[in-house]
Structure 1
């Protein structure tokens, strides 16, 4: 049976969901809401939707399933607007927000006396790119897609969403909204505060120690990469999950004080234990498996400082899709640099590793 799907927001996430739905359900009618004309043009050119509007309320009554792929504040405003509209009986509404408790609470109030099923959603995948132009049908492949049902959600609604999104190739998991926000405060929201704080501290330090900006190596780069994230997005995330994030900050202050005390005491065994415990915990976690916010795979190749060496590798990898390429050649005492190749999935990474090993003698590291 064909259905009508309405996606509000056709950026990276909404656009990628549209492509995945189109892939798995080619007969479904997909309607889209987007205001920028450029995004509308891209959505039409890429066949994301059957029809588009810049008036959110106009398509909502036609939909069997409504997906809110807009910022958190806008999601809440749209939920309140949907509560006032004459929607289809049994319509399913979901969102893609990075925090869930506030959104679920609003939905429970708005739809308490309506034949509407709301299910909070959070596809944990992303990209350094944004907008409709960056939409990718395989963006969610093997990533966690988290559902946070409300107290009124019916099982048939959850089943319908899982079927709708089967083209994403994501791994579904159900979590209570409050637990979702507690967990993501630790592994997603708080790390962005750390990365930005470290970047700002380093920038201030560089004013009186000019070599700082030249000596930043791989560890610093990896720790601060997410400091380039979009400010509007992360401001709204922190403010909508403030209690959990503040708890993480207070706890981390205590941990820093403990480490400072160990260093002050020159407690070598305790310092060694500190690092060893961190290493062991990281090795035990699923950090290297796809499922986090940035679901990419990196391969590092140590290459000599020779003409056309990068072109040589790219030629070897012709036909394999690269997400990003970066040359890390600073701060090295030898004649080699490090070529960082970022792939979309594990299969592309594995293929690239075999090709480079079979055709060169370059040292390869995988993260």
Structure 2
């Protein structure tokens, strides 16, 4: 018996999930995107088995419907679902990064006899759109499911049996817990990064050389400020209450730091940084929310052709890189050449490759 899967929204996440679902046995994957050009690309890139133009007709065939759309769009789709003719026992899920509003709407669907299980694959890329979709994008990433408390265990199991082909780490959490945890480790840090960049811009207007020195720690801690502003506008609005709580706690913490500095006690200041270092060093190494880089810092000597030499070694071993940059201001950076990789495996292979061929010192970040 064929299991029909319909993916609505064929961007980076939706496209990657669709590619993963194609690996499931006895499964046919249909795909729809509101953008006609995206539908054409989905067909030519074989992101799905079949691209559809009539999403309502396709939904009639679906055993599982996956929304790979932004939360605001998913909410609109969920409202439309109420009037669609769907299979009895159909399972609906999403991929949104906030779950509170989604799961409130899910309660309405449940009253209409539709099972909705919230989902959030916590992975991404520095690229976006369907052309960046990969079947292994979610591999070893956390894939959080937020079913309603009275959801059928069989329905949850059925969805997990499909999503296991993403090779993600599937875990179940309450939607409130999800929004709180992602606020702490993802949403709030983006606000901090954006505020640091805005403060930098203010200072740089007075001291233009500041931009030349903005490397190392500043670039690392503010990298996520380059994320899609429309997406982050929506996330802030959707997870507003949790973010306000985090901001209140942050203000308290910053006032504590200010008091610590005013006391001018070198031992207390050292303890503050030591405590932070211990917590940071004990964090598990895993793929968290959104895009994570795997950087290799290489302390290369300054002679013509050295960068092409290093990248040539990697090309010989068919090791793919996602980004490369030269760091000029290196106050707190170990190495002048920073090479970024899609995953830790590629980074480790690159480190081994360069080590076998050179005497360059390297540092993993």
Normalised TM-score (structure 2) = 0.95
The answer for the alignment partner of 1:111 in structure 2 is 110
Alignment of structure 1 residues 56-75 onto 2, 5 Å: 56-75=55-74
Residue 165 of structure 1 aligns to a residue whose secondary structure is helix
Q: How does 1:119-268 map to 2 (within 5 A)?
A: 119-268=117-266
Q: Is the 8 A contact 2:190 2:225 kept in 1?
A: yes
Distance 1:60 1:54, change over 3 A: same
Which consecutive unaligned segments of at least 5 residues does structure 1 have? none
Q: Which deviates the most, 300-309 or 119-128?
A: 300-309
Q: Which residue matches 1:21?
A: 21
Q: Distance in 1 between matches of 2:160 and 2:96?
A: 17
Give ranges in structure 2 of 5+ residues lacking alignment. Answer: none
Cα shift readout 1:188-242 (whole Å, capped 9, x = no counterpart): 0000000011001100111111111111121000011011100111111111110
Find out whether 1:282 has 2:280 as its counterpart: yes
CA deviation vs aligned residue, 1:333-357 (integer Å, no higher than 9, x gap): 9xx9622222222222221111111
Q: Does 1:307 align with 2:288?
A: no
Post-superposition Cα deviations, 1:247-306, rounded to whole Å, max 9, x if no partner, equal 0001000100110111112122221111111000011111x3224422442211111121
Contact 2:5 2:65 survives alignment (8 Å):
yes
Runs of 4+ in 1 over 6 A off after TM superposition: none
After superposition, the Cα gap between the structure-2 partners of 1:54 and 1:205, relative to the gap in structure 1 and judged at 3 Å, is: farther
Deviation at 1:332, TM superposition (A): 4.5
Aligned counterpart, 2:294: 297
TM-score, normalized by length of structure 1?
0.95
Residues in 2 aligned to 1:298 and 1:320: alpha-carbon distance in whole angstroms:
17
Q: Report the Cα distance in structure 2 between the residues aligned to 1:130 and 1:349, rounded to whole angstroms.
A: 22
Shift of 1:321: 4.1
> 1:361 aligned to 2:362?
no
| Pair 1:337–1:348, CA change in 2 (3 A) | closer
1:132 Cα deviation from its structure 2 partner: 0.3
Partner of 2:10: 10
Over the aligned positions, Cα root-mean-square deviation in angstroms equals 1.6
How many angstroms does 1:162 deviate by?
Answer: 1.5
Aligned partner of residue 32 in structure 1, secondary structure? strand
CA distance in 2, matches of 1:209, 1:219: 19
